């Protein structure tokens, strides 16, 4: 199990500004102060997806470790996979602070970070230092700068730069905090980006699987064209979903802040989009469910709605390092309770 020190510090961290606390947490992780998970994954959790083997289907979503400064320490917390980024070609500061808000009463977060990161060069240098043998699968999440971006140029260049080191690569076209980014989810723009990446991939010696991360706010009639664009251009899967710009009934004083909402209020809408995409894709794309997962039951619900893998973020920020193991163990118990011998057997059962 994770040492109690990390969990004991969580209440103190919540007393700090959200972004300050996040920065401290990353530094503590990078320094090895969060400990490591000593639990064992039940065999029922072993998962194969887009040609990769996962010790368990529980992943950390992009956004937590934007600059890949704590990849190995995060992997040691019991995750089956860790996704770092979003990284952009050039460094950028992101939006003015404050830009990260806890909605404690709603078990939620609003962020308008704006792809703040140190840029591709530093990111790749840190990936180069990762050991070849890792305890979890690694995903690189790529995006474009706010200014001077050319998506058809930048996404292929980013993919080529991280391809030697990543197990898979995610194209982020769904953050609500970079002006115009979500427009890239449209059929024509997405197809053009994917075509450009495909042309670059054709000349690379190593081509990790390509995924696309979409928003939960898409109209139903937009989902089919997105799936079709991905299917015809070599995309292995979709991550469903990013944060939402919708505002359901919220209790927190920060409820009206601009930005993307994540956490508990995102669970139902993101799961519904997941279910719809599963029905459209009919097993031809691997789906990763993310949005509002804080318990094993919620992870299981995502799987039964069509996800082969799941990711957590806001729940992890609230619960701390104990959460990956808690979800993994609980999920194994739920799968076995219902007579499943693998995660794959449960995928889409409620779709």
Alpha-carbon separation of residue 212 from 12, 134, 141, 177, 282 (angstroms): 36, 24, 9, 17, 17
Tokens of 174: 């769904």
Distance of CA 252 to the CA centre of its chain: 25
> CA 194 to CA 191: how far, in whole Å?
5
Tokens of 118: 């140190």
* Packing angle of the helix pair 187-201, 151-162 (nearest 10 deg): 40
Give residue 104's Cα distance to chain centre. Answer: 21
Q: Establish whether 241 is a catalytic residue.
A: no
* Count of Cβ atoms closer than 10 Å to residue 17 Cβ: 13
What angle do helix axes 323-337 and 296-305 make, rounded to 10 degrees?
60
Phi, then psi, of 199 in degrees rounded to 5: -65, -40
- Which one from 174, 175, 262, 308 is the annotated catalytic residue? 175
Dihedral-angle region of residue 234 (phi above 0 means left; psi in -120 to 50 means alpha; beta otherwise): left
Q: What is the DSSP string of 275-322?
A: HHHHHHHTTSSEEEEESS--SHHHHHHHHHHT-SEEEESHHHHHH-TT
Radius of gyration, alpha carbons of the chain: 19
Is 92:67 a contact under the CB 8 Å cutoff?
no
On the question of a cis peptide bond just before residue 241, with omega within 30 degrees of 0, the verdict is yes
Identify any residues that bridge with 260 across adjacent strands, giving them in sequence order. Answer: 111
Residue 161 C-beta-side C-alpha neighbours within 13 Å: 23
Write the DSSP symbol of residue 219.
Answer: -
Q: Among all residues, which ones are annotated catalytic?
A: 175
């Amino acid at each position: 199990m994770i040492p109690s020190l990390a969990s004991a510090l969580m209440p103190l961290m919540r007393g700090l500004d959200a972004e300050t606390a996040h920065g401290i947490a990353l530094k503590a992780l990078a320094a090895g102060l969060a400990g490591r998970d000593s639990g064992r994954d039940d065999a029922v959790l072993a998962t194969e997806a887009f040609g990769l083997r996962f010790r368990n289907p529980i992943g950390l979503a992009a956004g937590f470790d934007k600059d890949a400064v704590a990849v190995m320490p995060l992997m040691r917390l019991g995750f089956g996979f860790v996704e770092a980024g979003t990284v952009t070609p050039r460094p950028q500061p992101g939006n003015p602070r404050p830009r990260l808000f806890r909605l404690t009463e709603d078990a939620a977060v609003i962020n308008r970070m704006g792809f703040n990161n140190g840029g591709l060069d530093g990111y790749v240098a840190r990936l180069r230092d990762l050991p070849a043998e890792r305890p979890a699968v690694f995903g690189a999440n790529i995006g474009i700068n706010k200014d001077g971006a050319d998506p058809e140029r930048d996404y292929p260049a980013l993919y080529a730069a991280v391809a030697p080191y990543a197990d898979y690569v995610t194209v982020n076209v769904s953050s609500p905090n970079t002006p115009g980014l979500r427009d890239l989810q449209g059929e024509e723009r997405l197809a053009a980006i994917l075509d450009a990446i495909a042309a670059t991939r054709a000349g690379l010696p190593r081509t990790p699987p390509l995924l696309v991360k979409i928003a939960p706010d898409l109209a139903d009639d937009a989902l089919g064209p997105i799936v079709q664009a991905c299917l015809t251009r070599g995309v292995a899967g979709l991550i469903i979903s990013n944060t939402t710009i919708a505002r359901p009934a919220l209790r927190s004083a920060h409820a009206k802040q601009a930005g993307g909402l994540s956490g508990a209020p995102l669970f139902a809408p993101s799961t519904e989009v997941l279910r719809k995409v599963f029905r459209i894709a009919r097993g031809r794309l691997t789906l990763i469910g993310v949005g509002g997962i804080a318990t094993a039951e919620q992870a299981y619900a995502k799987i039964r709605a069509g996800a082969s893998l799941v990711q957590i973020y806001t729940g992890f920020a609230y619960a701390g390092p104990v959460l990956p193991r808690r979800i993994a163990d609980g999920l194994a118990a739920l799968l076995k309770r219902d007579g499943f011998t693998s995660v794959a057997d449960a995928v889409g059962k409620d779709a």
